Chain A
Amino acid sequence: MEREIVVDVQNVSKFYDNPSGKVRVLDHVNMRIGKGEFAAIVGDSGSGKTTLLNLVGGMDSVSEGTIHIAGEAISDFDDRKRTLFRRRQVGFIFQDYNLIHELTVYENIILPLQLKKKKIVEDTIDEYLEMLRLKEKKNVFPMQLSGGEQQRTAVLRALLCEPDIILADEPTGNLDSVNTQVVVKLLRHFSTSMNRAILFVTHNRELTKCCDRVITVKDGRIIGG
């Protein structure tokens, strides 16, 4: 079935200036991700996976090429527009969770909803908390959670505001095998049930077995997927 394209990366390059000269991190990359697609980006360290993710998520600007997300050319956005874009259309999950330590689990989760001025439906949130075995930890601060619990909170934070795309950078990098499986299944489930594109970066090739597509990046180029 033809999926509606939600991420369209065309001929994108990214390079950084260095005292020793320009460093090309991404080199004429082309990629398309459809709605509801669960894709993994794999590659060795320094291959440009995270850079690609950051560009797609509007965290950084392209040096060359264009990126369209849900029809909007984010590569032309200035910093402010990219920020608003991230607020409206992107959910991020980081390797080291990046929860706000001054906010409780519940508050971390509803923060993006408040930023988007979306209605907070308590029952829905409680349902998800129950599903992720975080109900008892609702009013607890991140410092008091285990790694797995923190990552589940981060996942929920990214998903609940129903962004167009969800980007996860090594979401299981700091988790044990059990929690890894839990998180990946969760992402898969949300991708299917919410029909959202999920793009995640991983070293772990085992995790790619449940993905719809595996994109391999090497030396700044996409060589597979």
Chain B
Amino acid sequence: MISVLWKIPYRKAVREKGRSICIIAAVFFTTVLFVAFFSALFFVMDAAEEMMRTTSPVLADAILPVSEDEYERISQNKHVSETGVGTRFAIMQEPSGAGGIQLFAFDEKMAQWMRYYPIKGRTPKGDNEIVVSDQYLKECGLVFETGRTGGGQIVSGPDGTCAQEVQESDNDIKIQTELTYYVEDEAYTDTFTIVGIYEMSGQPLHVVWTSDAFCQKICRQLVKQGKNPEDVTYRMMGVMFSSRANIRRLVSMLTAEEGIELEEGGFFINDFSLFEGMGIGTWAAFLLLLSLIMMVGYLFISNIFQIFAIKEVRFYGKLSTGGVTRKEIKRIVRRGNALLFYIAVIPALAAGYFISAAVLPGILNVGTTLQIQRSGNVMIFVMALTFSYLTVKISGGKTVKMAKNASPIERKKHIGSFGKVRTAQDKDCLTKFALRSFLSDKTKVMKVCVSISLSFMLASAFYTVAEGFDVEEYVKGELDADYIFAKEPVFTNPNLNPVSYARVSEEEMMRYRTLPGIKEEGGAAMSLVNIRLPEEGVERFSRINGEYDKDEFGSSGSSGEAWVHLYGLDEMMLQKLVPIRGEIDWERFSSGGYVLLNPIYGDDNIENEACYNPGDKVTVHFRSGEEGEYTVMAIVDRMPLSLAFPQISLEGDMYLPMKTWRKMEKRTDYYLYAFDVEAGFHEAWDTALESVADALKETGSGRTAYRSARTEAGRVREYTDGLKLAGFVLSGVLLVMGMLNFVNCTVSGIYDRSKELAVLHSMGVEEWEIRKNLIKEGMLYMAGGIVPGMVLAFFGVYFLIEKVLAQPYITYHSYTFIYVLYAVLGCVAAVLAPWGVRRRMELKEIG
């Protein structure tokens, strides 16, 4: 390009300040919008990933079973930034008898990643020093109380192996205890000193953390016995990668590079990526919203470009006359646009981020359990910059085309085509002038009308859904009791270990029983038990869920063993079960000897087939070692979600009366306890509950969480309020954009036709008549936007609520005030915009 031409875009930008400021403002506003959108997106994603991370049972990127040699090789791999290791060498039984505890020697890093790092006390260093879980202490009958001073009290656990001596200092734990543990089926008993306690909160394994010295001692014993410690111990390695981009791919690369074969199910990958969990619906919603913002930006920016392009057509025509090629003209226009873009976008990115960081967390935290905070994710700026640039580029496309096609000969007025016209003698020509001006650029009209229509539809949809949302009805469907108590992981961790989860004790529930107004109460317990499926059951399961892996569980003739969830339910809970096949005689059921069973879990099980039929006998092997035979009384529907254990058995869960379950499992704990409270006492409960929960927390019993109708209703109300707010913000933005576009169209239309309007004035058309005509045009814009929006909203929102959402807790109502509001706003804009422009033109002339 000739250097003189290069100066044109810069000089135009400086000389035509009004134009430059308008374009800069448009780009600024659009970029702020993009920054807000991507900030919201990344704030939420970062918060969700953080929540996934903190609730994940493991903090390392991956946990892999390895040999010593493999451990050394992986530690040196270039993809790996950090490693930790743990060695299991023995097992023992939980004091309650419910399950097993594995004895592990960890390094500190691995202990932290596996969440076994002590919250009280310290890590094990000496030979017989150990760190145990708070649940272990509880099962021993020990409660570690902070601030307790003085001497100790000797307390024995169920098998007489625990003893306790409490020291003075809070953080200095030294509890002597005897443990019986098994190394390759051989039992050993040793005295250990508990020096630290970790919190049981959803870890995959219940573990006692020993010192490395003790593990080495065991290994030396094995060697003396002529055994290879590698065959007896199980080493697992925690890995943190340098990059978090795709953990699964990194694990594959790592194992391929180091020649390690991993068995399916034998390793754990901590993939926090939200993208993998996003379905088509989520992606569609995301892309729709992004397109909406781009369209809004496009509407705004392209119109401003066009206003000025129309005026500059002659200028570009002159360039063409002087021999400047189309390509060069295109580059001049693009450079001018780019210059203004970069001037606007940098401060917009900064301003957009500051506004988003200040405002968005507060808005987004409404109606979500995520703790959303601002995050400085650089992708916010990259994405906002990219989309803003794309929007400007697309918006300027038409302008570039107009400029490069400007004729050097004629001054062509860009007013579009009119098509065929039928002249009617009796129609007012001024009205026709208004109508044809309105229709002259259909694209501009579409931009304004679509924007306003969409705004109305969104406002109507969001408001109608939010207002029609019956919170009480929704909560009734969500919660199956007034107050439901459990340890927090039961509510929040869908992968909760069915054996070693944190439990709620009778003593904890005693505190709640002192609260007034209890109508009904009951608890649910759960254990993982072993049953043998009959051949028919296996066949049914295979048909519904695919081949049943009999070999996995060991085969006994033609039937397969299965580990299923066995519930022990109090009467209140039992009453929640709904029979599908067979009838429940509660009196007979409570006497013992009977069990209830769920159908096989599977999408294809429309006939509700179960592994057993009513009348069949099932032998249950309890974890306590007891065995019982029960008759299936009925096939029942699943436990209500709000009361059920987070995990399910694909073969179908089973249910016993609590008395029977406790007798067989020899346990008295619950995973969940619920109360129904008389009306009028809810407020007292809500007030009292917080202080009770805090007190329980302090005793080291872990976090007892609860769900209540009130808290759920509050949460849902926050959500619906957030929904309304989001809807109004979005529709408000669209409305502002539509109105601004309308104002742009009006301004450009009036200035573009200033000569024609002057001709009319010269022919004796008074100023008020001219303004009346311009208002008619404005009304056409508003009608074109609001009327279709109203019609579509009226039917669309009804369809959305009644047919698409179709929920009993959302009902359709028509809210006239939105219609009236938009109609009034439309009329005001239609009158004020042309009036204001003409007034300004008048003042300029007077000036």
Beyond A100-B760, A110-B425, 7 additional contacts (C-beta under 8 Å) are A83-B767, A86-B764, A98-B759, A100-B759, A103-B433, A104-B421, A139-B422
B761: CB under 8 A from chain A? yes
Cβ-defined contact, B423 with A102, below 8 A? no
Cβ-defined contact, B429 with A111, below 8 A? yes
Query: How far does the Cβ of A116 sit from chain B's closest Cβ, in whole Å?
Result: 8
* In the complex with contacts A59-B762, A87-B765, A106-B423, A114-B433 CB distance below 8 A: no
Cβ-defined contact, B765 with A83, below 8 A? yes
Cβ-defined contact, B763 with A87, below 8 A? yes
Please report which residues of chain B, range 703-728, place their CB below 8 angstroms from some CB of chain A when the two chains form the complex. none
The 5 A-B pairs with the shortest beta carbon distances in the complex, nearest first, are A87-B764, A102-B436, A86-B764, A98-B759, A111-B429
Please report which residues of chain A, range 147-195, place their CB below 8 angstroms from some CB of chain B when the two chains form the complex. none
B607: CB under 8 A from chain A? no
A122: CB under 8 A from chain B? yes
Q: B764 — which chain A residues lie within 8 A by C-beta? A: 83-88, 90, 112, 115-116
Cβ-defined contact, A100 with B433, below 8 A? yes
Select A103's contact among B415, B422, B429, B762, beta carbons within 8 Å.
B429
Sorting the interface of chain B by its residue count into under 10, 10 to 19, 20 to 34 or 35 or more gives 20 to 34
Query: How far does the Cβ of A177 sit from chain B's closest Cβ, in whole Å?
Result: 21
Query: How far does the Cβ of A80 sit from chain B's closest Cβ, in whole Å?
Result: 7
Which of A103, A110, A143 has the most chain B CB atoms closer than 10 A to its own CB? A103
- Cα A59 to Cα B845 in complex, Å, equals 14
Q: A85 — which chain B residues lie within 8 A by C-beta? A: 764
Select B429's contact among A57, A87, A88, A107, beta carbons within 8 Å.
A107
Q: B755 — which chain A residues lie within 8 A by C-beta? A: 98
A141: CB under 8 A from chain B? yes
B437: CB under 8 A from chain A? yes
Query: How far does the Cβ of B314 sit from chain A's closest Cβ, in whole Å?
Result: 14
A107's nearest neighbour on chain B, judged by CB, is B429
Q: A90 — which chain B residues lie within 8 A by C-beta? A: 764
Q: A92 — which chain B residues lie within 8 A by C-beta? A: 762-763
Cβ-defined contact, B765 with A102, below 8 A? no
- Cα A103 to Cα B756 in complex, Å, equals 11
Q: B264 — which chain A residues lie within 8 A by C-beta? A: none
A138: CB under 8 A from chain B? yes
* In the complex with contacts A100-B433, A122-B425, A112-B763 CB distance below 8 A: yes
A120: CB under 8 A from chain B? yes
21 pairs of residues in contact across A and B, judged by CB atoms under 8 Å: A57-B762, A83-B766, A85-B764, A87-B764, A88-B764, A92-B763, A98-B756, A99-B759, A100-B433, A100-B759, A101-B756, A102-B433, A103-B433, A106-B423, A107-B432, A111-B763, A112-B763, A112-B764, A116-B764, A141-B421, A143-B413
Q: A139 — which chain B residues lie within 8 A by C-beta? A: 421-423
B817: CB under 8 A from chain A? no
B440: CB under 8 A from chain A? yes
Interface residues of B (CB under 8 A from A): 413, 415, 418, 421-423, 425, 428-430, 432-433, 436-437, 440, 755-756, 759-767
* In the complex with contacts A98-B759, A100-B433, A141-B418, A107-B423 CB distance below 8 A: yes
A114's nearest neighbour on chain B, judged by CB, is B429
B427's nearest neighbour on chain A, judged by CB, is A107
Q: A112 — which chain B residues lie within 8 A by C-beta? A: 763-764
B758's nearest neighbour on chain A, judged by CB, is A98
Query: How far does the Cβ of A138 sit from chain B's closest Cβ, in whole Å?
Result: 7
Q: B766 — which chain A residues lie within 8 A by C-beta? A: 80, 83-84
Quick one: CB contact mask for A206-222 with B, threshold 8 Å, 1 for yes?
Answer: 00000000000000000
Q: B440 — which chain A residues lie within 8 A by C-beta? A: 102
Q: B756 — which chain A residues lie within 8 A by C-beta? A: 98, 100-102
- Cα A102 to Cα B413 in complex, Å, equals 12
Q: A88 — which chain B residues lie within 8 A by C-beta? A: 764
Which of A88, A115, A116 has the most chain B CB atoms closer than 10 A to its own CB? A115
- Cα A126 to Cα B724 in complex, Å, equals 62
- Cα A85 to Cα B440 in complex, Å, equals 32
- Cα A136 to Cα B163 in complex, Å, equals 114
Please report which residues of chain A, range 114-144, place their CB below 8 angstroms from some CB of chain B when the two chains form the complex. 114-116, 120, 122, 138-139, 141, 143
- Cα A80 to Cα B761 in complex, Å, equals 10
- Cα A134 to Cα B550 in complex, Å, equals 96
Q: B763 — which chain A residues lie within 8 A by C-beta? A: 86-87, 92, 111-112, 115
Q: A100 — which chain B residues lie within 8 A by C-beta? A: 433, 756, 759-760
Select B761's contact among A83, A122, A138, beta carbons within 8 Å.
A83
Select A114's contact among B421, B428, B759, B761, beta carbons within 8 Å.
B428
- Cα A183 to Cα B418 in complex, Å, equals 29
Which of B433, B755, B759 has the most chain A CB atoms closer than 10 A to its own CB? B759
Q: B433 — which chain A residues lie within 8 A by C-beta? A: 100, 102-103
B766's nearest neighbour on chain A, judged by CB, is A83
Q: B765 — which chain A residues lie within 8 A by C-beta? A: 83, 87, 115
B433's nearest neighbour on chain A, judged by CB, is A102
